[in-house]
Amino acid sequence: MTEDPRSIVRRQSVPHSVSRPVVTPIYPSVVYRSTDADELDSQYEGRASGYTYAREGHPNASVLAEKIDWLEGMDPAWGKGTVMGSGMGAISAMLLGILQAGDHIVAGDQLYGRSLRLMTKDLPRLGYEITLADPTDAGAIAAAIRPETRMILVEVVSNPTLRVADMEGIARVAREHDVLLVVDNTFTTPRAFRPFEHGADIVIHSITKLLAGHSDVTLGWAAGRTPELNTAIYDAAVTWGMTGSPFDCWLAERGLHTFELRYDRAQANATALAEALVSTQGVASVLYPTRPDHPDHNRAKALLGDQGANMVSFRLDGGRETVNQFLHAAEHIAFAPTLGDIGTTLSHPASSSHRGLTEAGRLALGITEGFIRTSVGCEDPDQLIGEITKAIAKAV
């Protein structure tokens, strides 16, 4: 009797096929097998490319990172971006990979809420020093620089008041003081703004938002403009365990294929919604970066051109009661604290992202009780604008 080499516990290869799948397969494998020790040598020594262990890399992460690298205009000579398990993971790996205890960071004072918490609560515990400064004023950023400053971290458009940072001025400050400029490009996306073309050394994304676009995956990406920066970010992500899972990367790649279509549609909807809200009874003010009545309109034009992106904020006349009536009346639009979903979502900063501030602190930023932030999606514009303006009419 000949021995049967098969067994249900044996790891089989997939059947040989001369044709290949059109869609990227999902590679859940944690580990990759090699032919022999010499092959492993050539892989570790960079003479052959391949994978070994999923935390260190897998095809789904590579495919996703390559697409975002390309969208952000990375030169292949700089190395590759790294995909992390979340946007916060991307920021954390970047900081942990590059900075030492004692280094000083100048950070925008209107960053994403968790980033602000990282700056004010967690990093100081680890020996990093932080100064927050207003990124719409490059002079304020410059005034915060110290001899130990290694990094400036800003977002281009702030949440939820949509103020536009003085990116040209900040890039000049970074160059003059020889500090790294890090830009969280989540709100603007590479469709509106490509930070590497404006002096950024490192770019960060929460892929979770517009890039993936369907609120079904949490991932992040970080990349720098030198191989040293990218190696440092990658090594921190792998060592601290921050890399993303194959299935999440696969979902994000699927979402990314329609990113530009979704973005353009959402932006056109946002522009039309802002226009409609301006003449809606009960709306005290409307914020949209490319509108002529926006406080940073000229800077938005210079930096973003016509790309105002998909976020529109507005202030309702009235307080909590009016807001709640509006949210009830707008029953088909999700009241949910995220952004960049294919469907429109509404958020109320005073009770969510900015609830930690005092009322005076919120008012100093222009966040009234009637302040609503809209992440505009890809609905039919007439339907969307009709629903929102009718809900406002019911509430005020």
Ligand X SMILES: *Cc1c(COP(=O)(O)O)cnc(C)c1O
- The bridge status of strand 311-316 relative to strand 345-347 is unpaired
The answer for residues whose C-beta is within 8 angstroms of residue 228's C-beta and 6 or more apart is: none
Q: In 3D, which of 223, 208, 221, 222 has the Cα closest to residue 255?
A: 208
CB of 110 to ligand X, least distance (A): 10
| Residue of 71, 158, 179, 187 interacting with ligand X (CB under 6 A) | 187
313 touching ligand X, by CB under 6 A:
no
92 touching ligand X, by CB under 6 A:
no
At which residue do the structure tokens 């950070």 appear? 107
220 touching ligand X, by CB under 6 A:
yes
- 112 catalytic per annotation: yes
| Residue 228 main-chain phi, psi, to 5 deg | -65, -45
CB of 208 to ligand X, least distance (A): 4
Provide the 3-class DSSP secondary structure of residue 194: coil
Nearer to ligand X, 186 or 290 (CB): 186
86 touching ligand X, by CB under 6 A:
yes
Nearer to ligand X, 69 or 184 (CB): 184
Nearer to ligand X, 135 or 282 (CB): 135
Nearer to ligand X, 42 or 338 (CB): 338
Determine the Cα–Cα distance for residues 288 and 275; give it in Å rounded to an integer.
9
246 touching ligand X, by CB under 6 A:
no
| Residue of 88, 170, 174, 200 interacting with ligand X (CB under 6 A) | 88
Nearer to ligand X, 115 or 310 (CB): 115
Asked if 143 and 168 count as a contact pair (C-beta separation under 8 A), the reply is no
Dihedral sign from CA coordinates of 336, 248, 379, 302? positive
Asked if 89 and 220 count as a contact pair (C-beta separation under 8 A), the reply is yes
Helices first, then strands: H and E counts in the chain:
15, 12
| Residue of 149, 161, 208, 215 interacting with ligand X (CB under 6 A) | 208
Nearer to ligand X, 223 or 395 (CB): 223
Binding piece for ligand X, criterion CB under 6 A, among 41-49, 110-118, 137-145, 384-392: 110-118
- Catalytic residue selected from 32, 55, 114, 317: 55
209 touching ligand X, by CB under 6 A:
yes
C-beta atoms surrounding 328 within 10 Å: 12
- Catalytic residue selected from 69, 103, 109, 184: 184
- 184 catalytic per annotation: yes
CB of 218 to ligand X, least distance (A): 5
How would you label 137-172 residue by residue, b for 16+ Cβ within 10 Å and e otherwise?
ebebbbebbeeebbbbbbbbbbbbbbbbbbbebbbb
Q: In 3D, which of 298, 37, 329 has the Cα closest to residue 168?
A: 298
135 touching ligand X, by CB under 6 A:
no
Determine the Cα–Cα distance for residues 68 and 53; give it in Å rounded to an integer.
22
Residues of this chain that interact with ligand X (CB under 6 A) are 86-88, 112, 114-115, 155, 184, 186-187, 206, 208-209, 218, 220
